[in-house]
């Protein structure tokens, strides 16, 4: 497996694994815990070393799953988790990045992950009530104590990134980025380049849309987050199909899958991008890993990028309630 180096020298596999979907957001959760443990361990066997979770996924159960699965393989993997939500009675009711809360989350996450260190600790969402300088300073203390190795931000704006980085080096920003979600290109990506901060794109396959497996006939199961997202209405899925058609054309020309093409486009954008596609199936992990060795010609990369820009995307990526939590 090809390796990539995030900011501050954190080496990871070129593709990571987003673990959220094993515990929430995409319909009924898997009933067989052992099956998900096998998927996580199978990913390591295939070269994946970078695993992403968060306390709020579940809440808590995703960290517990990842911890149980990867405890025997701990020295082979990089564990990323997140703080920043106020969780009460099993659900998030807002954001909370007070220093004392960050410390509580760090200690609890260490227990659930069955480890003595968090390799990458992200602020999950910006907390407008807490200066990001205080957040960065608290994480810096956790780094000094050996509980955390690297500091990250998620869905933060350029100004917030600069302020945090001035207090303690930011290793990575996790934000949504793909062929059909490119808002960060204007201001945030240049900021990351300037400061030496890497990008970890979540939803790099457009929550499944860019794989070609979602169309106007798709019926989402109860509990699937896509039922709440404007760009997944039937009307918007029809309007957005033109981009998927182009991805499929490029895939056919290279005997690849649409998912591999979408991920290869991302990987080609800069050398320190590490996407974290999520899945519950080992077969999809194997498919996604094929993107690492898919060397798309420059002409195809340009055509995909220009087409995505020209076609645009129908529908917002979040509804109003979700957008209020992004901090952007």
Give which of 175, 80, 95, 177 is closest to 135, Cα–Cα: 95
Number of domains into which the chain is organized: 1
Six token digits for residue 239:
């309007």
Spatial separation of the C-alpha atoms in residues 192 and 7, rounded to whole Å: 10
What's the confidence (pLDDT) of residue 325? 56
| Residue at 185 is within a domain | yes
Confidence band for 27, pLDDT divided at 50, 70 and 90: confident
Q: Which residue, chain included where needed, has tokens 């659930």?
A: 112
What's the confidence (pLDDT) of residue 324? 62
> For the segment 127-161, what is each residue's pLDDT rounded down to a tens digit?
999 999 999 999 999 999 999 999 999 999 999 99
Q: Is the pLDDT of residue 228 over 50?
A: yes
Distances (CA, A) of 139 to 107, 121, 202, 269, 295: 12, 8, 22, 30, 38
Confidence band for 321, pLDDT divided at 50, 70 and 90: confident
| Residue at 265 is within a domain | yes
Q: Is the pLDDT of residue 255 over 50?
A: yes
Spatial separation of the C-alpha atoms in residues 151 and 111, rounded to whole Å: 19
Contact 277, 191 (CB under 8 A): no
Contact 70, 60 (CB under 8 A): no
Spatial separation of the C-alpha atoms in residues 221 and 317, rounded to whole Å: 19
> For the segment 45-86, what is each residue's pLDDT rounded down to a tens digit?
999 999 999 999 999 999 999 999 999 999 999 999 999 999
Mean residue pLDDT of the chain comes to: 96
Six token digits for residue 18:
């987003």
Q: Is the pLDDT of residue 327 over 50?
A: no
Give which of 150, 217, 182 is closest to 307, Cα–Cα: 182
| Residue at 126 is within a domain | yes
Average pLDDT over residues 228-255: 97
> For the segment 167-191, what is each residue's pLDDT rounded down to a tens digit?
999 999 999 999 999 999 999 999 9
Instruction: Give the range of the structural domain holding residue 284, as residue numbers without chain letter.
Output: 3-323
Distances (CA, A) of 199 to 193, 259, 267: 10, 19, 11
Q: Is the pLDDT of residue 328 over 70?
A: no
| Residue at 182 is within a domain | yes
| Residue at 284 is within a domain | yes
What's the confidence (pLDDT) of residue 320? 82
Contact 180, 210 (CB under 8 A): yes
| Residue at 76 is within a domain | yes
Compute the C-alpha angle 74/77/81, nearest 5°: 95
Confidence band for 322, pLDDT divided at 50, 70 and 90: confident
Q: Burial level of 11, CB count in 10 A (0-12/13-18/19+)?
A: exposed
Spatial separation of the C-alpha atoms in residues 265 and 206, rounded to whole Å: 13
Spatial separation of the C-alpha atoms in residues 111 and 269, rounded to whole Å: 37
Average pLDDT over residues 298-311: 97
Catalytic residue selected from 57, 122, 177, 318 = 57
Say which CATH number the domain at 248 has.
3.20.20.100
| Residue at 294 is within a domain | yes
Which residues are 51's β-sheet partners?
17, 79
What's the confidence (pLDDT) of residue 323? 67
| Residue at 328 is within a domain | no
Q: How many residues does the chain have?
A: 328
Q: Is there a catalytic annotation at residue 60?
A: no
């Amino acid at each position: 497996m090809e390796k990539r180096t995030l900011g501050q020298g954190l080496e990871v596999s070129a593709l990571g694994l987003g673990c959220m979907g094993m515990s929430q957001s995409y319909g009924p959760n898997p009933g067989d815990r052992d099956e998900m443990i096998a998927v996580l361990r199978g990913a390591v066997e295939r070269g994946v070393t970078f695993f992403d979770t968060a306390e709020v996924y579940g809440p808590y159960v995703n960290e517990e799953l990842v911890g149980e699965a990867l405890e025997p393989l701990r020295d082979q993997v990089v564990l990323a988790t997140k703080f920043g939500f106020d969780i009460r009675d099993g659900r998030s009711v807002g954001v909370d990045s007070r220093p004392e809360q960050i410390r509580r989350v760090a200690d609890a996450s260490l227990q659930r992950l069955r480890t003595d260190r968090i390799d990458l600790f992200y602020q999950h969402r910006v907390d407008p009530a807490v200066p990001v300088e205080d957040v960065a300073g608290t994480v810096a203390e956790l780094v000094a104590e050996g509980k955390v190795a690297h500091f990250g931000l998620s869905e933060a704006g350029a100004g917030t990134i600069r302020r945090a980085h001035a207090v303690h080096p930011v290793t990575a920003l996790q934000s949504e980025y793909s062929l059909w979600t490119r808002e960060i290109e204007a201001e945030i990506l240049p900021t990351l380049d300037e400061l030496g901060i890497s990008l970890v794109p979540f939803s790099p396959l457009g929550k499944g849309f860019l794989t070609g497996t979602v169309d106007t006939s798709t019926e989402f199961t109860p509990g699937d987050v896509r039922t709440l997202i404007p760009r997944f209405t039937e009307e918007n899925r029809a309007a957005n199909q033109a981009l998927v058609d182009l991805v499929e054309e490029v895939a056919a020309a290279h005997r690849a899958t649409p998912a591999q093409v979408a991920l290869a486009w991302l990987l080609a954008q800069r050398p320190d991008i590490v996407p974290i596609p999520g899945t519950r199936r080992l077969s999809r992990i194997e498919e996604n890993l094929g993107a690492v060795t898919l060397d798309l010609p420059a002409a195809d990369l340009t055509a995909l990028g220009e087409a995505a820009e020209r076609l645009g995307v129908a529908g917002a990526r979040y509804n109003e309630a979700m957008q209020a939590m992004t901090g952007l």
